[in-house]
Amino acid sequence: MKIAVNTRLLIKDKLEGIGWFTFENFKRIVTAHPEHEFYFLFDRQYSDEFIFADNVHPVIVHPPTRHPLLWMTWFEYFLPRALKKIKPDLFVSPDGYLSLKTDVPQLAVIHDINFVHRPKDLPLSSKIYYQYYFPLFAQKAKRIVTVSCFSRDDICASYNIDSSKIDVVCNGANMAYKPLTAEEIKATKKKYSSGSDYFLFIGALHPRKNVSGLLNAFDKFVRHYHTDHKVVIVGEKMFLTAELDQTYNQMRYGDDVLFTGRLSTDELRDVLGAATALVFVPFFEGFGIPIVEAMYADVPVICSNTTSLPEVAGDAALYVNPDDTDEIAAAMHKISTDEPFRQELIAKGREQRKKFSWDLSAKLLWESIEKCLRSISANNTND
């Protein structure tokens, strides 16, 4: 059969969470299923590294889509034209965006619907697009995949979708993330933090990621506990970052905050592996890949007690209220001074991480695709 895939987020050296989901899963799926033809739909010139096998056919559908008006134009005009030429049996969209103007059966991967609960975190045009189109996408989809039981239940409740239509396919972690040797840890600290111990945040600098709260908590941590720790922030700014800029400028210990921007996987492996702990305290999260990556690196986790995060971290994290900066600061103190507790979290993380791998994710995503293909075949037979 022919399967078309929305691969517009496969951008060389710029993979984010959904891009990694697309990359890791379809790298495995296309090589495991040479009996099918896959049409990868890019919105710009692609890198050959994303053409994983001979049964992958790249198609460029212009224009590049980085604004709600272009999202609407691409999915409602240019994509249907491309699908009409390809004549696929199924269209799979790993970022959840579908087309309302095609009769091709569609599978949507809706990672979460944070915009339903935190619309103020988005620019107005994005908020309008998400709130108008995603309920329609959820109804239009033949099946929906999401990355946690929390997100499944949220989609069902918010969009009146039967849970039997939704499959849970959790994220995995890149196998590059492994424990570092003592020598590697020492060299990494020397490179990034002048030899000091540090806490780490990984993610886009987006309002719902609560980086401002983390910085306020870190300021309290240093002030109250007189520590030499630093905090390393890995990620790029997105939008609505005025609060973050203001918070940073008002910090007493802002010199101890180190912004790296985007890092390569190899660089991130080192920075993560040398951290005292990952501090991941978003207000809303559909999964939280950095948590699993930290577990594979034998790095303990401080994370929010909200949304999907307790489901992902299990008993292998120190939980905090993301709104309580005193609680976050106290968690930093505990994990940096109580080594037996830190080692206990690491040991629990080694068990918890066994639940998450890209091999398992690809297997489950393919099972969801097969459900769609079987349904399509049955309908064609009945017709």
User: How much is the pLDDT for 378?
Assistant: 79
Report how far apart, in Å, the C-alpha atoms of 280 and of each of 202, 213, 232, 346, 374 are: 8, 11, 12, 16, 40
List pLDDT tens digits, range 84-104.
999 999 999 999 999 999 999
Distance from C-alpha of 262 to C-alpha of 68, rounded to nearest angstrom = 24
Q: Where are the alpha helices (DSSP H) in the chain?
A: 17-32, 68-73, 79-86, 114-117, 124-140, 149-159, 182-193, 211-225, 242-249, 265-273, 289-296, 309-313, 325-337, 339-352, 358-382
User: How much is the pLDDT for 240?
Assistant: 57
Q: Is 85 helix (H, G, I), strand (E, B) or coil?
A: helix
- Amino acid type, 50: F
Q: Which residues contact 364 (CB under 8 A, 6 or more apart)?
A: 167, 168, 169, 170
User: How much is the pLDDT for 66?
Assistant: 83
Is residue 76 included in any domain, yes or no?
yes
Average pLDDT over residues 225-241: 85
Is residue 79 included in any domain, yes or no?
yes
Q: Are residues 160 and 250 in the same domain?
A: no
User: How much is the pLDDT for 236?
Assistant: 83
Polymer length in residues for the chain: 383
With a cut of 60, say whether residue 69 has pLDDT above it: yes
Rounded to two decimals, the pTM is 0.94
Nearest to 290 by CA among 197, 194, 209, 198: 209
Distance from C-alpha of 239 to C-alpha of 251, rounded to nearest angstrom = 21
Is residue 177 included in any domain, yes or no?
no
Is residue 7 included in any domain, yes or no?
yes
Structure confidence at residue 383 as a pLDDT band (50, 70, 90): low
Q: Are residues 40 and 155 in the same domain?
A: yes
Position with higher pLDDT, 337 vs 15: 337
Structure confidence at residue 375 as a pLDDT band (50, 70, 90): confident
User: How much is the pLDDT for 376?
Assistant: 81
Is residue 234 included in any domain, yes or no?
yes
With a cut of 90, say whether residue 242 has pLDDT above it: no
What CATH number does the domain containing 223 carry?
Answer: 3.40.50.2000
Q: Are residues 152 and 242 in the same domain?
A: no
Q: Are 65 and 28 in contact (CB under 8 A)?
A: no
Distance from C-alpha of 282 to C-alpha of 278, rounded to nearest angstrom = 12
User: How much is the pLDDT for 124?
Assistant: 92
**Domain interval for residue 295:** 182-355
Q: Are residues 77 and 148 in the same domain?
A: yes
User: How much is the pLDDT for 243?
Assistant: 85
Q: Are residues 153 and 237 in the same domain?
A: no
Structure tokens at 340: 């037996």
Q: Are residues 39 and 94 in the same domain?
A: yes
List pLDDT tens digits, range 339-362.
999 999 999 999 999 999 999 999
Count the domains in the chain.
Answer: 2
Name the average pLDDT for the chain. Answer: 95
Is residue 204 included in any domain, yes or no?
yes
User: How much is the pLDDT for 10?
Assistant: 97
With a cut of 80, say whether residue 237 has pLDDT above it: no
Report how far apart, in Å, the C-alpha atoms of 148 and of each of 109, 145, 373 are: 11, 9, 23
List pLDDT tens digits, range 271-287.
999 999 999 999 999 99
Q: Is 261 helix (H, G, I), strand (E, B) or coil?
A: strand
User: How much is the pLDDT for 238?
Assistant: 66
Q: Are residues 370 and 341 in the same domain?
A: no
Q: Are residues 238 and 205 in the same domain?
A: yes
Is residue 211 included in any domain, yes or no?
yes
Find the helix or strand (DSSP H, E) in which 353 lies. Answer: none
Average pLDDT over residues 166-175: 95
Report how far apart, in Å, the C-alpha atoms of 346 and of each of 152, 275, 336 are: 29, 12, 13
- Amino acid type, 58: P
Structure tokens at 214: 């983390």
Average pLDDT over residues 207-228: 95
User: How much is the pLDDT for 379?
Assistant: 73
Q: Are residues 338 and 296 in the same domain?
A: yes
Average pLDDT over residues 113-142: 95
Distance from C-alpha of 81 to C-alpha of 329, rounded to nearest angstrom = 54
Q: Are residues 349 and 374 in the same domain?
A: no
Q: Are residues 64 and 196 in the same domain?
A: no
Is residue 347 included in any domain, yes or no?
yes
Q: Are residues 27 and 72 in the same domain?
A: yes
List pLDDT tens digits, range 133-154.
999 999 999 999 999 999 999 9
Structure confidence at residue 308 as a pLDDT band (50, 70, 90): very high
| Preceding peptide of 207 cis, ω within 30° | no
